[in-house]
Each structure stands twice: as structure tokens, then as C-alpha cells.
């Protein structure tokens, strides 16, 4: 039975996680021999006073020792760095935030990046000092929790400044916009300044080509093998079909994805939770602003609705968005984090789905 289980694990995860026995030695990873990663920089207890006039300057580089799994033929180790206010602690999962996921054993952070962690995400008030704890989670696959290894926490103190949290951008020059790497409208956004970028772009023609750039051709990335990995000065990336695409780029790992979307409105306020009402791209808005938004005018009844892409609720087939009750009015969130949008009064409404980013929004206008 042990041999059979090991083979099943090997098929699913590339390795079996069981207690050691001689006949299974080729398939078994003994986690009692695994070594967790540990921070080597900065020093535990370091203190940093963050100042807005220096926000573009490097603050420090997180560095850590590599996790060790005592077996051959394993997938690459990945590291998830997380943070929490020290006063709250790791026993409160809702208060823990993810910083970066990487295969590297280091991560650079700027003054602005740390302030966004402290002020924008952990809600440390401006000009106040508080302690933040960081930890590393090493894993071979997220799905198999038995491979997870956690570092000892690293605690630093941070004094914040008030920040409006303006998102970083990555340009997306391409055949659809004249190959202009300096066009700051055709971009994807990194709201957390963590080099994880996302945005929506409209490609009017099949086989549209594009790349990623930092404002000029001096720094640009393409995909030589069309396998989702980015290389400096790499080959053009191709979107085979015309349409609206969600574009993601991870500039920590130099990977990218594209996901073609067709958005609709769905819910009890419209035709029910089983029937999509397709929305149309606002072409005039795109031509004037290089930004994606959808518009529809329809009759709505008292009830609720959400926005759904590709006739499916969740990846890999589709997406959905609803309202963020903790944010300002009109802000949308993906999936289960977004709640149903209420309609209190029957009537004819113009509904706008605004995907211009970095924050997605909606508008309701009753005629």
C-alpha cells in the first residue's frame, strides 16, 4: 500500500511525502531531514525611518539561506514572503499579508515599497513607529502542505510617512499602439509596488504583437520561446485573437500571462444567475484614452448582480467581480472577495465596467 501511495504522490506532485521505508526510497521525501530557510539580512531588530523625499531610493535587500529538501529530481523551491504587525502576530491569518513569491533567495525593497507595506497594507499610521514581523514559507507545491517549511520570523521597526499609494507601471508597447514604449496609457499596474503587474488592453486585430518595457527600448522584455518566460530584448509576444486581454507580468520571476475576456452582467437584477447579459467595449473611450471599459444600457429589477467573464465564475475558464465593501463606493474586487452589487429600484440603467486600472470600478446611471 505504501508503494502505491508513493507513486500516486509522485504523479500529482512529482514526489511522494511519506515515512521512510527501504522499498520506497526512490519516491519518498523525508521531511524530517528538510531545512527551512532563514533570513540573513537585514539584522533582527533593525530600525528604519522612512522619508518621502527618499522614496525611490533602495532601503535594503532581504536575503535568506536556501531551503533544503534531501531528495533528487524535485521541482524548484519557491519562497513566499509574508508580513504581519508584530503586535497582532502570526496566529491571526486574516492580518497576514503576502509580499512576494519568488525562486530567488533575495528580494530588494525600496523606501516606497516598505512604506506601502507598513502604511498602506498594515495600516501603521503616518509618522508613527511600529514593529513588523516577516517570515518565509518555502514549498515545492502550494497544493501539498506537507512540503511547507517556515523560517523564524524577522522583526524590524519602521517609521512611516503618509502616502497616496500611486501604482507603479510597466509599459506594453505593441503593434496595436504604434510600438511606443513611452506611452503611459498602454500599461499594466503594480498597485503594491511589488513588481507584480496587471492590466486590461484591447487588441482590435488578430495576431497582435507586444512586449514589456520600462518607458523606452533600453529596458524591454519579450518571450523567445512563447512559453511564458520573459527575456531581455526577447521576441514579440503574440495575442492570436482580437479582443480584451487581462495581461499579467511578474517581474520578480520574469514570467507573463495573457487571458482573453468577454465580460457580461449577470444576476437576479437582470436575467437571473444563470444567464449572462453581454457587455460591449466602449470603442470611443478606447480610441481616446487607450483604456478599457464596457458599457451596457438595460432594464434592471430590484436584486443583485455581478460582472462575469467568459460565461464562467472562476479561473481557468472565467472571472467575476463584485463590490469591495471595505473600499470606497464603486470599487470592484475579484471572485469571492467581491460581493453582489445591489439594485434597490427598478428602472433603465447604464452600467459601466471600468477596467482602466490600477483599481477596477463600476458606475450605475439610472435614466
- Residue 219: the pLDDT is 87
Tens-digit pLDDT profile for residues 305-318: 999 999 999 888 99
- Return the closest-CA partner of residue 114 out of 152, 81, 91: 81
- Residue 198: the pLDDT is 97
Strand-pair category, 255-261 with 263-267? unpaired
Strand-pair category, 154-159 with 47-49? parallel
Which residue would you say has higher pLDDT here, 71 or 59?
Answer: 59
CB 119 within 8 A of CB 163: yes
Taking 80 as the threshold, does the pLDDT of residue 216 lie above it?
yes
pLDDT band at 271 (very low <50, low <70, confident <90, very high): very high
Mean pLDDT of the chain: 89
Q: Answer yes or no: same fold for 34-159 and 263-366.
A: yes
State the average pLDDT over residues 131-147.
Answer: 89
- Residue 166: the pLDDT is 65
- For the question of whether the overall pTM of this predicted structure is more than 0.75, the answer is no
State the average pLDDT over residues 347-357.
Answer: 96
Distance (Å, whole) CA 276 – CA 270:
9
b/e for 142-165, b at 16 or more Cβ within 10 A?
eebeebbbbbebbebebbbbebee
Assign 3-class secondary structure to the chain.
CHHHHHHHHHHHHCCECCCCCHHHCCCECCHHHCECCCEEECCCCCEEECCHHHCCCEEEEEEECCCECCCCCCCCCEEEEEEEECCCCCCCHHHCEEEEEECCCEEEEEHHHHHHHHHHHCCCCCCCEEEEEEEEEEECCCCCHHHCEECCCEEEEEECCCCCCCCEEEECCECCCCCCCCCCCCEEEECCCCCEEEEEEEECCCCEEECEECCCCCCEEECCCCCCECEECCCCEEECCCEEEEEEEECCCCEEEEEEECEEEEECCCCEEEEEEECEECHHHHHHHCCCEEEEEEEECCEEEEEEECCECCCCCCEEEEECCCCCCCEEEEHHHCECEEECCCEEEEEEEECCCCCCEEEEEEC
Q: Which residue shows C-alpha cell 497594507?
A: 121
- Residue 295: the pLDDT is 97
pLDDT band at 25 (very low <50, low <70, confident <90, very high): very low
- Residue 103: the pLDDT is 83
State the average pLDDT over residues 202-208.
Answer: 98
Taking 70 as the threshold, does the pLDDT of residue 11 lie above it?
no
CB 305 within 8 A of CB 270: yes
- Residue 9: the pLDDT is 41
Using left for φ > 0, alpha for ψ between -120 and 50, and beta otherwise, residue 176 falls in: alpha
- Residue 16: the pLDDT is 45
State the average pLDDT over residues 227-231.
Answer: 94
Domain 263-366 has CATH 1.20.950: no
- Residue 168: the pLDDT is 85
- Residue 74: the pLDDT is 87
**Annotated domain spans of the chain:** 1-31, 34-159, 170-258, 263-366
CATH of 34-159, one of 2.40.30.170, 3.40.30.160, 3.40.1170.60, 2.60.40.10: 2.60.40.10
- Residue 164: the pLDDT is 66
pLDDT band at 163 (very low <50, low <70, confident <90, very high): confident
What class has domain 170-258?
mainly beta
Amino acid at each position: 500500500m505504501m508503494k502505491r501511495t508513493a507513486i500516486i504522490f509522485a504523479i500529482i506532485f512529482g514526489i511522494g511525502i511519506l515515512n521512510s521505508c527501504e522499498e520506497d526510497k526512490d519516491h519518498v521525501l523525508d521531511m524530517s531531514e528538510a531545512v527551512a530557510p532563514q533570513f540573513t539580512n537585514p539584522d533582527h531588530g533593525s530600525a528604519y525611518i522612512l522619508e518621502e523625499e527618499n522614496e525611490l531610493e533602495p532601503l535594503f535587500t532581504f536575503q535568506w539561506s536556501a531551503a533544503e529538501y534531501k531528495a533528487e529530481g524535485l521541482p524548484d523551491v519557491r519562497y513566499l514572503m509574508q508580513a504581519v504587525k508584530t503586535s497582532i502576530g502570526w496566529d491571526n491569518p486574516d492580518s497576514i499579508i503576502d509580499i512576494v513569491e519568488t525562486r530567488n533567495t533575495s528580494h530588494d525593497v525600496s523606501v516606497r515599497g516598505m512604506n506601502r507595506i507598513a502604511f498602506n497594507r498594515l495600516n501603521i499610521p503616518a509618522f508613527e513607529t511600529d514593529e513588523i514581523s516577516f517570515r518565509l514559507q518555502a514549498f515545492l507545491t502550494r497544493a501539498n502542505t506537507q512540503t511547507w517549511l517556515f523560517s523564524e520570523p524577522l522583526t524590524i521597526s519602521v517609521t512611516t510617512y503618509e502616502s497616496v499609494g500611486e501604482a507603479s507601471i510597466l509599459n506594453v508597447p505593441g503593434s496595436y499602439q504604434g510600438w511606443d514604449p513611452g506611452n503611459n496609457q498602454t500599461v499594466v499596474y503594480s498597485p503594491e509596488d511589488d513588481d507584480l503587474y496587471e492590466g486590461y488592453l484591447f487588441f482590435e486585430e488578430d495576431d497582435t504583437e507586444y512586449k514589456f518595457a520600462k518607458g523606452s527600448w533600453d529596458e524591454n522584455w519579450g518571450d523567445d520561446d512563447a512559453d511564458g518566460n520573459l527575456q531581455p530584448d526577447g521576441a514579440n509576444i503574440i495575442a492570436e485573437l482580437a479582443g480584451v486581454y487581462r495581461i499579467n507580468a511578474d517581474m520578480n520571476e520574469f514570467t507573463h500571462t495573457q487571458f482573453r475576456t468577454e465580460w457580461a452582467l449577470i444576476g437576479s437584477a437582470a436575467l437571473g444567475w444563470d444567464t449572462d447579459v453581454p457587455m460591449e467595449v466602449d470603442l470611443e473611450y478606447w480610441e481616446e484614452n487607450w483604456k478599457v471599459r464596457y458599457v451596457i444600457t438595460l432594464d434592471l429589477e430590484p436584486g443583485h448582480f455581478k460582472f462575469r467573464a467568459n460565461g464562467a465564475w472562476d479561473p481557468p475558464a472565467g472571472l467575476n467581480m463584485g463590490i469591495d465593501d471595505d473600499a470606497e463606493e464603486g470599487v470592484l474586487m475579484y471572485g469571492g472577495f467581491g460581493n453582489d452589487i445591489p439594485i434597490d429600484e427598478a428602472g433603465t440603467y447604464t452600467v459601466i465596467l471600468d477596467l482602466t486600472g490600477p483599481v477596477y470600478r463600476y458606475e450605475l446611471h439610472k435614466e
